[in-house]
Amino acid sequence: MVVLGIETTCDETAAAVVERPGEGPGKILSNVVLSQVNEHAVFGGVVPEIAARAHVEALDQVIAKAMADAGHTFDSIDGVAAAAGPGLIGGVIVGLTTAKAISLVSKKPLIAVNHLEAHALTARLTDGIAFPYCLFLASGGHTQVVAVRGPGDYVRLGTTVDDAIGEAFDKTAKLLGLGYPGGPQVEKEGARGNPMRFPLPRPMQGRPEPDFSLSGLKTALRLEAEKIAPLTDQDVSDLCASFQQAIVDVVFDRLRVGLKIFRERFGAPTALVAAGGVAANQAIRKVLHRLSFESGTVLVVPPADLCTDNGAMIAWAGAERLAHGLTDPLEIAPKARWALDDVAGAASRPSKGP
């Protein structure tokens, strides 16, 4: 089964062609990602209207390249998937409408994919792991601990009550005058810093539910920075290192609780899986290794370029849904908000195709 996937929910214009050979991992036949980072960097964050316009300008060529790289035509694929949300609605409309046009003209089924579901299923594309597994999803907009039991079968065990982890990295970078996107910048600066220098809080540590709270940490960091302003390069590095260490400690504690609750409710998970842009962070990867070792759970962390937004994850989620007969009508609406536990699965929705 070969599916084209289109991703336009944020600031990457991406398309990919992926093959799902039945059970086991998938095969990425092409994966084209055009980042708009330079267009947004001067504003210190993603500007929705600029993002939507850039998607309109680039998407046709990105799809053409993905098809050519894969050696496929619209006639030779089995379905067209697009991220239908959650995300910046202007961009989502561009990607979903394009997928609808391809579906209509080539008479191939349309699959409207939830962007978070695509992050959640990436570990099956890369490693072919079985359900159920415990997912740690940490991106710019989301921080969640989820029991992944099947396509369209997700139970959220914990989430953030305020900022997402990626958002906290981005805000920290902005506060310290570092570039956008903030996560990689904070990681890079922090590598030269002292993680013990600033006594930052570890919010929610020890709580019985695997929830996160990060706005207090961000405020504490701002207060520490204000106390010693003007900041030297070493101050910035130490603040980054201290911030990242606080996040690492919080992730360890919160996920330990998440795994415990997973076991109580669903039995042993097949794996602990990390997804979303924050999973590209090496210090976070390291602490996930420690946790998996201590808890006797296999750890699966897809390569960094499949953790950040890409078309292959959308194509794969589309292929997984298509394999279960889960297709969508052309009238399907784009969604700015769309929780993972609201994604319909095989048990809850009959197959509908164009």
- C-alpha distances in Å from residue 158, one per residue of 19, 60, 208, 258: 32, 38, 10, 7
Ordered alpha helix ranges (H), 107-181? 115-127, 165-175
Query: Minimum CB separation from ligand KG4 for residue 275, in Å?
Result: 8
Of 7, 117, 170, 189, the residue at the interface with ligand KG4 (CB under 6 A) is: 170
The bridge status of strand 2-7 relative to strand 79-85 is: parallel
Q: Is 166 in the site for ligand KG4 (CB under 6 A)?
A: yes
C-alpha distances in Å from residue 236, one per residue of 163, 189, 202, 245, 280: 22, 7, 20, 14, 21
Which residues here bind Zn ion, judged by CB under 5 A? 139, 309
Least Å from the CB of residue 330 to ligand KG4:
26
Closest approach, Cβ 234 to Zn ion, in A, equals 33
Strand partners, 146: 135, 156
Q: How many alpha carbons fall within 13 Å on the CB side of residue 59?
A: 26
Q: Which of 29-37, 122-130, 207-215, 277-285 is the region at the interface with ligand KG4 (rule: CB under 6 A)?
A: 277-285
122 touches ligand KG4 by CB under 6 A: no
Q: Which two tokens stand for residue 111?
A: 């699959």
Task: Find which of ligand KG4, Zn ion, none residue 141 binds, CB within 5 to 8 Å per kind.
Answer: ligand KG4
Structure tokens at 237: 């590095």
Instruction: Report what 311 binds from ligand KG4, Zn ion, none; CB cut-off 5-8 Å by kind.
Output: none
Stretch that binds ligand KG4, among 55-63, 98-106, 163-171, 342-350 (CB under 6 A): 163-171
The continuous run of DSSP H or E covering 110 comes out as strand 110-114
DSSP letters spanning 285-328: HHHHHHHHHHHT--EE---HHHHSS-HHHHHHHHHHHHHTT--B
Residue 198's binding partner among ligand KG4, Zn ion, none (Cβ under 5 to 8 angstroms by kind) is none
Looking at 181, 190, 210, 318, which residue binds ligand KG4 (CB under 6 A)?
181
Assess 281 for contact with ligand KG4 (CB under 6 A).
Answer: yes
Kindly list the residues in this chain that would bind ligand KG4 in the complex (CB under 6 A). 10, 139-141, 166-167, 169-170, 181-184, 187, 276-278, 280-281, 308-309
